[in-house]
Each structure stands twice: as structure tokens, then as C-alpha cells.
Chains A and B, each alone.
Chain A
Amino acid sequence: MSVEPSTETESPAVDSVTFRGAWAGFVACLPVALGVAGYGVVFGMLARRVGLSVAEAALMSATVLAGAAQLVAVELWETPTPVVAILVTTAVVNLRYVLMGAALRPWFEDLSPLEAYASLFFITDENWALTVRDLRSGSGRGAFLLGSGLAVWAFWVAATVAGAVAGSAIGDPARYGLDFVLTAVFLTIAAGLWSGRHSLVPWAAAAAVAVAGAAWLPGRWYILLGGLAASLVEVGRRG
């Protein structure tokens, strides 16, 4: 914690990666990670069904850490493995991470390259959003992405194993309201990012483009396009 009152800047200085900062991120992300785990169970079940072993499913969750891309990959999985299709889809589904990483720049430029690039491995939609919220509040916790990401990672891998081992005995996450956890997370964060009428036009553009994109385009293009729509509207408005 800084003692001196800092002057108002757009991106206050960010501490290097500390245990305290990471722990704060880890704890803040635990309820969110529980929601993510609901999908980890589904992924584990699907992975087993297409013939991956429990170890392979767990390894994919531990090293790829991208829920949507992994779910699509096991949808495509067959023998022989359609490697090109799987890799191209993985890249396309994950393109939104390029924008998410770019949006962290104001804070991550204060971190060492090792800290920054190690933390970026742990980006997922959920903990990225929590991290933006935390850093915007001026916490200066450079380790928040890493800590929150470790929470998601631990639950994601454990849930994958649980789903792969238990198979279909567990059932639909919607039964426990877990499907709504992630919606609630993003709503909470959106409420925090709302900056009055100024946000209205870019957000309306993002929503319209995303709903249209989700209806007509495959995969997660809608997230990328919705985010870009908000950006373009904002730039256009400032001339």
C-alpha cells in the first residue's frame, strides 16, 4: 500500500509481482473460479467421451487454459486427429485474448517482461475482467492477474479431472445455478466499469454487434467484434 497520496493519473503505478498482490487476486477470484469449474466438469466429461485419457484431459486444461477453445477442440476430435482444423479454430476462438492483453498495457508496462509474460499465460475471460476492475480501482496490484489466474487454473484442472473421472454422473451445471455465476460476474464488473452516459454509445454498439455476431457467426467471434465496435465508436467520437 502506498502511503503518500498519489496524484490523479490515468494509470497509477503498479507494484511488481508480490505474494500479497497474488493472494488478493486468488481470494477475489475463488467464487468466480467455482463458476468456471462447472464448465471444467463438462469439458472433462466431453474429453473422455471422445477418447482422451484423464491425464490427457488434465494436461490440456493445465497447459492450454482456454475453456471455449478446449470445448471446441474436443468437439472436433476424431481419429485421425484433424490437427489443422483444431489449431486454426483454437487461434480464432482465442483471438479475443489479443485484445484483452492489449487492454492491460497501461498497468503491465510497469512490470518486468518475465512478470508480465508469465502472468499473461493465466488470462481467461473471467479473471481478466476481475483484474481490469481491480487495477482500474487504483490498487496497484501487479500480481492480481497471476493470483486470480492461479485460482481459475486450480479449479479448472481439478474440475476437468472430476468430470473425466466421474463422467456423466454429475449432470448439468445449470441445475445448481452455476451457469449464471459467470453472467453475474460480468454484470458486476460491467456495473463497476460504467462511467455514466459516456459509456452508453460504445456499450450499445458492443451489445448490438455481439448479439448479431453470436447469432450469425461461429465460435467466439462476437466477443472480438463487439469489443472492436466499442473501440471504433469511441475513436470516432473523439475524432
Chain B
Amino acid sequence: MAEIPTLAVIAAMCAVTYATKAGGLWLLRRVEPSDRLRASLEALPGGIIVAILAPRLAAGGPPEWAAGAAVVVVAHRTDSVLLALVVGVVAVLLFRGQLR
């Protein structure tokens, strides 16, 4: 069998990925969601973000948890993503140096 060119593989990966990115909205433009589906869609963003976070935090240790707590406090008080990021990164570097 002939070797498939790298560019063709990349193009196919692009197509598959775009299908997943566009597919959710495409489907919902065709089906009018019921109240139950609406409720479940409302819960999705929080659920997905927690699902991304939980294993990351579980894989960390005390430095990551302490820095994470600092991030939540700053985010809650200031509502600034940038400030929370800076505090988080500084805190994690500090705690990793001190606690390990």
C-alpha cells in the first residue's frame, strides 16, 4: 500500500476536529431542545470545567492545592482572570519551593 502523505493526514485530522467543534451547534440548530435538554445544557459548562479540573487537582499535591485556594479567593474577590493567574503561578512556584 502506498504511503499516505503527511499533508493528507493533517487535512483529515483538521476535518474530523472541525466536525466535533461545529457538530454540537449544528445538531441543536436542527432540533428544538425540550425543557429537559435545556436544563441539561445549562448544567454543561460548569460540569465540563469541573471535569477538566478535578483530575488535575487530584494529581497535584499540597503546593497545587494551596495555590489553587489562593486563585479561588482572588477570583472571588476581584473577578479578574489575569490577577488570579498571576497570583496562582507565583503561589505555585513559591509553594513548590517551600513545601518540597
Which residues of A are at the interface with B, using a C-beta cutoff of 8 A?
A: 28, 31-32, 35, 52, 56, 59-60, 63-66, 69-70, 73, 79-81, 83, 86-87, 90-91, 94-106, 108-109, 116-117, 120-121, 123, 125, 129-130, 132-133, 136, 176-178, 180-194, 199, 202-203, 205-211, 213-215, 222-235, 238
3 smallest beta-carbon distances between A and B, as pairs: A226-B51, A230-B47, A101-B24
How many angstroms between the C-alpha atoms of A211 and B82 in the bound complex?
27
- Give every chain B residue within 8 A of A104 (Cβ-Cβ): 24-25
Nearest-CB residue, chain A, relative to B84: A188
Verify A230–B50 contact, CB threshold 8 A.
yes
- Give every chain A residue within 8 A of B90 (Cβ-Cβ): 177
30 contacts between A and B (CB under 8 A): A31-B85, A31-B86, A63-B14, A69-B13, A80-B3, A83-B12, A91-B19, A94-B21, A97-B23, A98-B23, A98-B27, A132-B45, A177-B92, A181-B89, A183-B60, A183-B71, A185-B81, A186-B49, A186-B52, A187-B53, A193-B45, A202-B46, A206-B50, A208-B54, A210-B54, A223-B48, A226-B50, A226-B52, A231-B44, A234-B43
Verify B16–A227 contact, CB threshold 8 A.
no
Given contacts A83-B9, A120-B21, A206-B46, 6 further A-B pairs with CB under 8 A are A63-B10, A83-B12, A103-B24, A120-B25, A185-B85, A189-B81
Number of interface residues of B (CB under 8 A): 67
Cβ-neighbour of A203 out of B21, B40, B50, B71 (below 8 A): B50
- Give every chain A residue within 8 A of B50 (Cβ-Cβ): 190, 203, 206-207, 210, 226, 230
